Amino acid sequence: MRIAFLTAPEGVEEIELTEPWQAVLDAGWNPRLVSTRPGRVRAFRHFAPGDTYGVDHVLAGDTADAFDALVLPGGLANPDALRMNELAVGFTRSFFEAGKPVAAICHAPWTLVEADVVRGRTLTSWPSLATDIRNAGGTWVDEKVHVCHAEPATLVTSRKPADLEAFCGAFVKEFAASGAAVGST
C-alpha cells in the first residue's frame, strides 16, 4: 500500500510524522512524503527545530489516484500552511471523493475543515479546534482516537502526541481493512 504523508515545507510536529511513518513501515507498506515544495521539510519538536526529511512527491494538481490512504500529521504551523494551499486542500479532498481512508492528528483537522469534508462526521483533535470542527458541520469528541466510518471514506483522528500509540494502531487497522490493501504493495 502507498500511503501519502502530506506536510507543509516547515512546521510538522516531528513525532506526529515519524511514529505514524514507522507504523506504516512496520505494516509492510510504502510511506511517501508529499509536500507543496521540493527538497526537504523541516520538522519541529513543539517550537524547537527538529530534523529535516526528504520530499518524495511534490503536489502539482494531484489527486488520490497514486495512493491508497492519507496521513495528515499535525503541529501548529503545518496544517495552518496546508489549509492555505489550494493544491494541498484539493489533494486532501480527493481522498474523501475517492473513498480512500484518511488519518489526522492534533491540529491536522484544520486541513479537513478547509477541504469541507468534516460535515456530518464525528472526530477528535487538539481541543482548540473543537469550535472550528463544529462550525464546519462536524461533531467534536474528546477521545484518544476516534474512527468515523461515514461514507464515502473512513476517517481516523487523534488529539495529540500522547495518543500516538492508539492513533497508529487504529489507522493501521482501518487502512488494512479498507480494501485498498488488497493487492497493493
Helix residue spans in the chain (DSSP H) = 14-26, 77-82, 86-97, 109-114, 130-135, 164-177
CB 11 within 8 A of CB 75: yes
Active site residue 106: yes
Q: What 3 state SS string does 57-96 have?
A: EECCCCCHHHCCEEEECCCCHHHHHHCCCHHHHHHHHHHH
In the block, cell 500522547 appears at 162
Q: Which of 107, 146, 148, 168 is catalytic?
A: 107
Please tell me the distance from the alpha carbon of residue 63 to that of residue 65, in angstroms, as a whole number.
5
Closest CA to 95 of 72, 73, 123, 78: 72
Active site residue 46: no
CB atoms within 10 A of CB 42: 18
Peptide bond into 9 cis (omega under 30): no
Q: Which of 57, 106, 148, 168 is catalytic?
A: 106
Q: Which residues are catalytic?
A: 106-107
